[in-house]
Amino acid sequence: MARFYTDADADLEQIREEPIAIIGYGNQGRAQALNLRDSGLQVLVGNLQDAYWQQAVEDGFQPMSPAEAARQGRIICLLVPDEVQQQLYERDIAPALQPCDALDFAHGYSIRYGLIRPPAEVDVILVAPRMIGTGVRELFLKGSGAPCAVAVEQDATGRAWQRALAFAKAIGATRTAALETTFAEETELDHFTEQAVMPVVFSLLVESFDLLVARGYQPEMVALELWASGEPSETWGQIASMGLFRQLDLHSRTSQYGTLTRSTSGLREQLRAIAEKGLAEIRSGAFAREWEAERSAGYAVFNKLKRQALCHPLNEVEQTIREALRRARE
C-alpha cells in the first residue's frame, strides 16, 4: 500500500539552518516561497529581472539572479517550466552546486527523462503539489494544505527523506498528506492525465458542442449545459470528496441510470486503446522527445494549436454567457 506522511512524520528543524533558493518566481515558485517563509525558513528568490522579479520585491523578497541564489542556497528548488530546466541547470545551477546540497523539483520530468543528471554528492528530492500555485498558497493561508507527492532519487547525505518531508511540511502539504512515490511514477501519471485523460474530455466536449449546435440547439444553452454553469466542476469536487461512484447519489435516479447504462464495455474498450497509446508514448520517452523538438523549433505547433483553439466559436458563446451572468449578479 502507498505510504502517506503527515505533519507528525516531518521535522522543520531538519532544514531550519539551510537557505532555500527558489529558482523561478512563477506559479509554484511564488506560492512555495511565501509558504516556506511563513513557516519560518530562510528563503532566497532567484529570477530574471522582469515582472516576476518585481512581484518578488512587492512580496518583500530581495531577488537575485538564479546563479547567485543557487550559490547561496543549500536547498535549490528548480521551479521554472520543465522544458527550460535543463538549459538553466547547466548554465546557472550545476556550477553552483556544493556537496551535500539538495536539488528539489516540483515535477519529476527532468530527472525521469535524463535531461538533468545531478552529481552523486547532492540529494535529489521531489515535493510535487497536486495543485496549482494559487491553490497551494490559499489552502496554506486557510490552515490546510495541498496534498503532494514526495520522492527521493538520490540520497547523498542520508538525510534526503528528512529534508523532503520537512520541505513538504513547510509548504503545508503534510497538513493533509504527502504520498511517497518515485520521480518516474509521478512524471508518468501526471503526463497520463494530461495526455490521455484530458484530450478525451476536451475532444468530447468540443465534438458535443459542434454536434448539438449543428442539430439546432442554442449555442449558449449547449455551453451552459456542458460546462459553463459550473455544475461539472461541482461534480468533480464531489468525486474527490465522496468518491467516483458514491457521489452518484447526489444526482437524480434518471441521471444515474443514464450514466451507468451508457458506460458500456464497448466504450471502455475504445477508451482503453487511447489510454494504452498515451501511456506507451510517455513510457518510451516519445512524448518527451517530441516536446523537446517543439521547444527547439520555437513552439510553432503549440502556438498554432492554441490560436486555433481560441478561434473556435465556443469562445464567443462563453463570453456571452459570462457577461450575462455578470450582469445578472449586478
Q: Mind telling me the catalytic residues?
A: 107
List 88, 102, 126, 164, residue binding ligand NDP (CB under 6 A): 88
CA distances from 234 to 122, 205, 246, 325 (A): 44, 17, 14, 17
Nearest CA-CA partner of 35 in 65, 77, 73: 77
* 72 is a site residue for ligand NDP (CB under 6 A): no
Q: Minimum CB separation from ligand NDP for residue 177, in Å?
A: 16
Question: Does residue 96 interact with ligand NDP by CB under 6 A?
Answer: no
Measured CA to CA, the distance from residue 90 to residue 92 in angstroms comes to 6
| The C-alpha cell that represents 219 in the structure block | 449555442
The residue range among 77-85, 172-180, 240-248, 300-308 that interacts with ligand NDP, by the rule CB under 6 A, is 77-85
| Least distance in angstroms from the C-beta of 272 to ligand NDP | 27
What percent of the residues of the chain are helix, what percent strand, and what percent coil, each to the nearest 5? 60, 10, 30
260 binds ligand NDP (CB under 6 A): no
The single residue listed with the C-alpha cell 520541505 is: 167
Of 27, 157, 208, 256, which lies in the binding site for ligand NDP, with binding defined by CB under 6 A? 27
Residue keyed to cell 535549490: 76
State the Cα–Cα distance between residues 83 and 95, nearest whole angstrom: 20
> Is 107 a binder of ligand NDP (CB under 6 A)?
yes
Q: Which of 63, 73, 118, 129 binds ligand NDP (CB under 6 A)?
A: 129
Q: Looking at beta carbons, which residue is closest to ligand NDP?
A: 26
26 binds ligand NDP (CB under 6 A): yes
Instruction: Report whether 108 contacts 82 (CB < 8 A).
Output: no
If the CB atoms of residues 117 and 246 are measured against ligand NDP, the closer one turns out to be 117
| 269 near ligand NDP, rule: CB under 6 A | no
Q: Is 44 in the site for ligand NDP (CB under 6 A)?
A: no
Among 3, 57, 114, 132, binds ligand NDP (CB under 6 A): 132
Tell me if 133 sits within 8 A of 141, measured CB to CB: no
- The answer to whether residue 106 forms part of the interface with ligand NDP (CB under 6 A) is yes
What residues contact 265, with CB distance under 8 A and at least 6 apart? none
Alpha-carbon Rg for the chain, nearest whole angstrom, is 22
Among residues 20, 34, 80, 222, the one that binds ligand NDP under rule CB under 6 A: 80
DSSP 103: E
- Round to whole Å and give the CA distance between 87 and 83: 9
- Examine residue 25 and tell whether it contacts ligand NDP (CB under 6 A): yes
Select the residue interacting with ligand NDP from 14, 28, 162, 181 (CB under 6 A): 28
Kindly list the residues in this chain that would bind ligand NDP in the complex (CB under 6 A): 24-29, 47-48, 50, 52, 79-82, 84, 88, 106-107, 128-129, 132-133
